[in-house]
Structure 1
Amino acid sequence: MNVFLSYGITWMERESLKGLRIEMDILFSFIHTLLISLVELLYLFGVIMAVGVVLGILERYSNSFLIRAFGPRGVLFTAWIGTPIHEIGHLIQCFIWGHRVTRVKLLQFNSPTGILGFVEHQYNRKSWYQQAGNFFIGLGPIFSGIGSLILSMYLLVPETYKAFVKEIQLHVTLEKIDFTFLRIISGAILAISKNLFTLENLINPLFWIFLIVGISISSHIALSKADIEGAAKGLLTIYFILVLFNVFTAVFKLNSYGMIVKIAELNAYVLAFSSIALFFSVVALVVSMLLFIIKKQIC
């Protein structure tokens, strides 16, 4: 009796393994696409989101000192300038992203809820463009706040503005953002402080107007809870769009990561211009702290 032993695999088993390998390759490719899209999202918007977090922390402490010194209405010292600029930031982004604005209050002092201003808007949930716009609408006050600070500097203390722009031109380059962001921020803030608190400015009434405007804007530039929630919805849509974009570029063998990184290099300029908001947020914190200490000593 002859016995034949076979240690190979059948054709059906080979095909099954082949199919399994294909499924695993697809799964790993999809996971890779999700991770790459997340990294690209951070490259594109990580800097501005980090700036928003820092501004929020500084504003929270600054306003807490004002409230402890003067009560809940203490924030009104800065709200008359800062709140309209904050809400205008939302409003402009609503128009850009096609949202329908239903109600606007740039400033209100007697709201029972304590809300100083608001922009109510509606959008088409079937439109990816309008859904993605929620992110930029939520971050609108950061854009309008930084823009207003730069415009105020240009109009009221032009010499400081020139020094600030010169610093950016000399030291900000389109390069990968790693630890160089510390050099960018510190250099820009140093240029502002060195050229702002000069003898010539101290005797110039426009300098003091700029100082009041800067403190007021920076005290209300951070995002509210509702702003953050709205921005998060838009960010999720942007992430989904990035995933689809990466699938498309993978099919046509394009370097999507390289494209995104090139665009993200503009974050160097975002950091540089954000430095003015960070600078005035620190100034606002110091001033509010001093007012609290003085009030405490008097009382």
Structure 2
Amino acid sequence: MQTAFQTANHIWLAWLGYGLGLPLLGGLLLAGLSHQCKKLIVTLFGWQAQIYGGGLGVMLHELSHLLVALLFGHQIVDFQLLVPPWKLNPQAEGQALGYVVHQGKNNWWSKAGNVFIGLAPLFGGTLVLWLITHFGWPELAQFEQHLLTGATAPSTLLPTHWGRWGIWLLLTLQIAIGGFDLSPADYQNASAGVVTLLIGLYGFSWLGALLGFGGTLQQVAQQWGILALGWLGSALLVLLVVTGLLTLLNGHR
């Protein structure tokens, strides 16, 4: 029989590995690919093209920062969801496509929130991609559920409504290109709260162990992590294809 100490450690490791680790791994892969894709777009079509190609994604990116900052009690000092393309200055150092300036409080909740605020676009983008896939390409959403949970497989992967599929493709491209590219400031902000988050998560694990929810919490962590990674998969696929095409186009210039 496991002791409370062992159970708490298992819960903590499950959430580190599955609940946070898998979505973070998929999100960081997507962020790196998104960054490379934007660089190719700028090289091929000019600085402003990244706004036209991923403007909706940029707005979702900044909105994710803003909403999560509010959730963790931060004060919003200033924000702009999208800098108009005609106001972009490629010569300016650190030119941002959008920004959120926020200030936290001196408490555990606010400090731990820095991790989620910095990485918020990964989670916000994942959620929106899940929603639009269920709307625009439900066959793919059902197939992902089948792979991840063993649910009933769809009879076909071909879209039933091609108009909705077109909207799905457009929105997925916009979000994948503009929504996941994390800036150095995002990484710095996230790193500021890592220790506080880990301590808080360990306390949560102990509480779960003492209340007898060890098995449930480990199962939830595993299921959530695998599902989130699956939801990111469609965006990764689309972005891989787009980045590959842009790389070929750039090689033939």
Distance 1:200 1:255 in 2: 46
SS in 1 for 2:134: helix
Distance 2:14 2:23 in 1: 14
Distance 1:270 1:75 in 2: 30
Change (3 A) 1:271 1:98: same
Say if 2:114 is the partner of 1:114: no
Q: CA RMSD in A?
A: 3.2
Q: Map 1:1-299 onto structure 2 (within 5 A).
A: 39=13, 42-43=16-17, 44-108=19-83, 109=85, 110-112=87-89, 113-125=94-106, 127-170=107-150, 195=157, 198=158, 200=160, 204-219=162-177, 220-242=179-201, 255=209, 262-265=216-219, 266-294=221-249, 297=252, 299=253
Q: Scaled by the length of structure 1, what TM-score is found?
A: 0.66
- Runs of 5+ consecutive residues of structure 2 not aligned to the other structure: 1-8
Is contact 1:124-1:130 (8 Å) kept?
Answer: yes
Matched AA of 2:126:
I
SS in 2 for 1:98: coil
Change (3 A) 1:65 1:165: same
Q: Scaled by the length of structure 2, what TM-score is found?
A: 0.76
Is contact 1:78-1:217 (8 Å) kept?
Answer: no
Aligned-pair distance for 1:76? 2.2
Number of corresponding residues: 234
Change (3 A) 1:267 1:75: farther
Question: Identity across aligned pairs (percent)?
Answer: 24
Distance 1:262 1:60 in 2: 37
SS in 2 for 1:114: coil
Matched with 1:6 is none
Higher relative contact order (CA 8 A, sep 6+): 2
Change (3 A) 1:200 1:39: closer
The one-character-per-residue Cα deviations of 1:92-128 (angstroms, maximum 9, x if unpaired) are 2112111111211111132444211111111112x10
Matched AA of 1:207:
W
Aligned-pair distance for 1:145? 0.4
Matched AA of 2:133:
M
Change (3 A) 1:260 1:72: farther
Matched AA of 2:98:
G
Instruction: Please tell me whether Structure 1 or Structure 2 has the larger radius of gyration of its CA atoms.
Output: 1
Matched AA of 1:280:
A
Change (3 A) 1:199 1:230: closer
Matched AA of 2:51:
L
Aligned-pair distance for 1:148? 0.9
SS in 1 for 2:97: coil
Aligned-pair distance for 1:216? 1.4
Is contact 2:111-2:193 (8 Å) kept?
Answer: yes
